């Protein structure tokens, strides 16, 4: 594979297109109930592995480390029992695909990733499952997890953004690798972390109805495979379309801080 297809739907198998068409509304109901749905088998394994290789070759040199450790004062400044307050912590590599002049945007555009993440078929999937009209514009980002990389518990809530404060939708296309032993996504339902899925699949697709509490466990490599174990995530973020007569806000510039 030298480039991604222009339309997201072309990345899918016929079975994948049938699943994501969601003609019976199974996925939409699951998204309403659980806040997140994870789909396996919609992308052929060989295609997903080729996409992983393409990202490693063409986009990895453009990534920047995104590291935010637990501050020592999170413990040292406590004056009462059970007073813990944890900021959003993470370790991963990323590129925000927003500025056309950036090296990462140019590389992503050259391999067709920008076009695919902005494609009508991907937006239609998100809109169909959300049950609400989505803004024509979207935010794009890529993440790369290596051994030990993770994201701590967080909500991805942006109350200062009037267009995102009431919720928004993410679509994450995950390209895992067989040299990864496991990598889990954990999320909360009804106030407890009770949902978990192994997201290290060659071509898993996760749809998030944000905000909600979730985290990604440290990626664990198979013994002796630390140099080649990694998982890529290509994601698109959609805000809901403004109500009729309401002026549009500025273009969505992607997320602040690490994603999942």
* 247, pLDDT greater than 60: no
Residue 257: what pLDDT? 45
First to last CA, the chain: 26
Residue 243: what pLDDT? 67
* Mean per-residue pLDDT, 93-122: 97
Residue 136: what pLDDT? 86
Mean predicted lDDT score pLDDT of the chain: 92
Residue with tokens 């140099």: 227
* 244, pLDDT greater than 80: no
pLDDT class of 260 with cuts at 50, 70, 90: low
Query: pTM of whole model > 0.85?
Result: yes
Residue 251: what pLDDT? 39
Residue 162: what pLDDT? 86
- Whole-number Å distance between alpha carbons of 176 and 183: 9
User: Topology of domain 8-240, per CATH?
Assistant: Jelly Rolls (2.60.120)
Residue 202: what pLDDT? 85
* Mean per-residue pLDDT, 11-39: 95
Residue 241: what pLDDT? 85
* 256, pLDDT greater than 90: no
pLDDT class of 158 with cuts at 50, 70, 90: very high
Q: What is the pLDDT of residues 200-223, one digit of tens each?
A: 988 999 999 999 999 999 999 999
Max CA pair span of the chain? 59
- Domain ranges across the chain: 8-240
Q: What is the pLDDT of residues 109-155, one digit of tens each?
A: 999 999 999 999 999 999 999 988 998 889 999 999 999 999 999 99
Looking at per-residue pLDDT, the higher value among 149 and 161 belongs to 149
Residue 259: what pLDDT? 58
Please give, one letter per residue, the 3-state secondary structure of the chain: CCCCCCCHHHHCCHHHHHHHHCCCCHHHHHHHHHCEEEECCCCCHHHHHHHHHHHHHHCHHHCEEEEECCCCHHHHCCCCCCCCCCCCCEEEEEEECCCCCCHHHHHHHHCCHHHHHCCHHHHHHHHHHHCCCEEEEEEEEEEEECCCCEEEEECCCCCCCCCCCCCEEEEEEEECCCCEEECEEEEEECCEEEEEEECCCCCEEEEEEECCCEEECCCEECCCCCCCCCEEEEEEEEEECCCCCCCCCCCCCCCCCCCC
């Amino acid at each position: 594979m030298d480039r991604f297809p222009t339309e997201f739907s072309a990345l899918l198998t016929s079975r994948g297109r049938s699943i994501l068409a969601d003609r019976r509304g199974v996925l939409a109901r699951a998204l309403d109930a659980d806040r997140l749905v994870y789909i396996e088998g919609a992308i052929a394994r060989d295609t997903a592995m080729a996409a992983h290789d393409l990202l490693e070759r063409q986009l990895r040199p453009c990534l920047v480390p995104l590291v935010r450790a637990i501050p020592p004062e999170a413990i040292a400044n406590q004056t009462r029992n059970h007073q813990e307050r944890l900021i959003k912590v993470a370790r991963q590599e990323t590129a925000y695909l927003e500025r056309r002049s950036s090296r990462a945007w140019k590389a992503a555009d050259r391999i067709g990733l920008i076009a695919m993440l902005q494609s009508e078929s991907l937006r239609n999937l998100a809109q169909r499952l959300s049950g609400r009209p989505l803004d024509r514009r979207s935010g794009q980002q890529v993440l790369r997890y290596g051994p030990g990389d993770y994201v701590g518990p967080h909500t991805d809530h942006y109350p200062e953004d009037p267009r995102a404060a009431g919720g928004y939708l993410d679509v994450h296309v995950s390209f895992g690798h067989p040299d990864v032993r496991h990598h889990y996504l954990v999320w909360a339902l009804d106030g407890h972390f009770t949902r978990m899925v192994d997201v290290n699949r060659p071509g898993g697709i996760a749809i998030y109805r944000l905000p909600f509490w979730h985290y990604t466990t440290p990626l664990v490599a198979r013994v002796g495979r630390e140099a080649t174990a990694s998982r890529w995530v290509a994601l698109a973020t959609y805000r809901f379309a403004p109500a009729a007569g309401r002026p549009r806000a500025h273009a969505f510039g992607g997320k602040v801080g690490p994603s999942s």
